[in-house]
Amino acid sequence: MLSMIGPNRHLSGLPIIRRIACAALLVVGLAALAIPARAQSQPDIASPQAILVDFESGSVLFERAADTSSPPASIAKMMTMAVVFREIAEGRVSPDTEYKVSEYAWRRGGAPSGGATMFAALNSQIKVSDLLRGAIVPSGNDAAIVLAEGMAGNELAFTVKMNEEAKRLGLTGSSFVNVSGLADPAQKTTPRDMAKIAAHIIRSYPDLYKIYSEPDFLWSKIRQSNRNPLLGMSLGADGFVTGYQKDAGYNLVGSAIQNGQRLIVVIMGSKTEKERAEDARRLLEWGFRSFESRLLFQSGQVVGEATLYGGARGGAPLVGTGPIYVLVSRTGDEKVTARIRYEGPIPAPVEKGAVLARLQVYRGDQLALDVPLAAAETVPQGPLWRRAMDGAYELVVSLLRQGYAKLTG
């Protein structure tokens, strides 16, 4: 049974620490949750980088060097597809639109290149719907380049869109300089970033995501099988892609669903195809077997409070942007803690719905969940006397902090 310290069983009943050091980072409470621990020890995998994430809650179940940037190889095409999917979803491009196969796309990504290709014929016209399948199922470099040229004029211009989309999605360790994933020292990503892209595609473009589960693709009288090894493992897998680069090793992004629970796995830097596939399988099987979802806060339920400066009241109540779930292990006695982080105190006024903080839930030392918290109501600016009192308080705190720093320095 999940329990939380404090009245009303939520973080708003916990003590508030107004400031921490010069970074002005506020931490509201630190609640110990009586939640079961891991059902078994973590899976033994060989790959140097990996992450396993629950799609619904965003809970991280396993991670290894998940924030280390490495060459993505062909899994970079997921960001290419994220941009293409958005263009289609927002009506700027139709699946029936046709694009011409340029000599650049043909030579760099087509049959003459010796890499993954859909075998698009030079100067032919191909529908976007077919190019999508060519870029996803056999991971065709030519298809990805033709899409980029058709939508942005050239590949470089399209990569600007990719990096803008990466910023919008909150990716922090990724940089894209081509659409295919071909080797380039400036092109990099992390397992955590790839998991974010995967979750975004599944959530935002469910119909287009279905292409990732198609078993094969026929073009130019050549039938090519889907490169994702997880699709044939009876795991409930329905996406995504693989990649290989000599200096990067073998990469994979996968997703599977069992009993209504979806997990996303990312493997990077494996030494062999077999190692890559086996490590992904082990993580997925372990995740489905060992964890279950628990509701922490219902939609609209107050999680805690952020301290305000110069407001009509001293704080703003915080709520999630929806219900907040976390995945917890099915058995055992592991400590799970939660806290609210934000920079503050926050100046008033604040508008209802403004994102002010983040709720972080830790499973042991591992960050299991990191979700935004928004103001539950509008708090206007307070009267002059209130602002003066808050200003005096902050001045005293600042002077005390400076004195403490001198004494300890």
Domain chopping of the chain, boundaries: 7-33+296-408, 69-227
Q: Which two tokens stand for residue 39?
A: 């059902």
Nearest to 313 by CA among 376, 399, 400, 359: 376
pLDDT in tens for each of the 409 residues of the chain?
Answer: 232 322 233 343 333 333 332 223 333 333 334 343 344 478 999 999 999 999 998 999 999 999 999 999 999 999 999 999 999 999 999 999 999 999 999 999 999 999 999 999 999 999 999 999 999 999 999 999 999 999 999 999 999 999 999 999 999 999 999 999 999 999 999 999 999 999 999 999 999 999 999 999 999 999 999 999 999 999 999 999 999 999 889 999 999 999 999 999 999 999 999 999 999 999 999 999 998 888 889 999 999 999 887 778 888 999 999 999 888 877 655 677 888 998 877 888 999 999 999 999 888 788 889 999 999 999 988 666 555 565 556 555 555 556 555 555 5
Give the separation between CA 92 and CA 77, rounded to whole angstroms.
Answer: 20
CA atoms within 13 A on the CB side of 334: 21
Evaluate if pTM is beyond 0.75.
yes
DSSP code per residue over 80-137:
HHHHHHHHHHTTSS-TT-EEE--HHHHHHHSGGG-SS---PPTT-EEEHHHHHHHHHS
Distances (CA, A) of 111 to 78, 118, 246, 268, 368: 22, 8, 20, 27, 44
**Strand 302-309 vs strand 346-347: parallel, antiparallel, or unpaired?**
parallel
* Cβ contacts of 39 within 8 Å, gap of 6 or more: 289, 290, 291, 329, 330, 331, 332
β-sheet bridge partners, residue 127 = 98
Give the CATH fold of the 69-227 domain: Beta-lactamase (3.40.710)
Q: Is the peptide bond before 206 cis (omega within 30 degrees of 0)?
A: no
371 sits in which H/E element: strand 366-375
CATH 2.60.40.10 for domain 7-33+296-408, yes or no, is no
Q: Which two tokens stand for residue 400?
A: 């005390």
Q: Which residues are the active-site residues?
A: 74, 77, 139
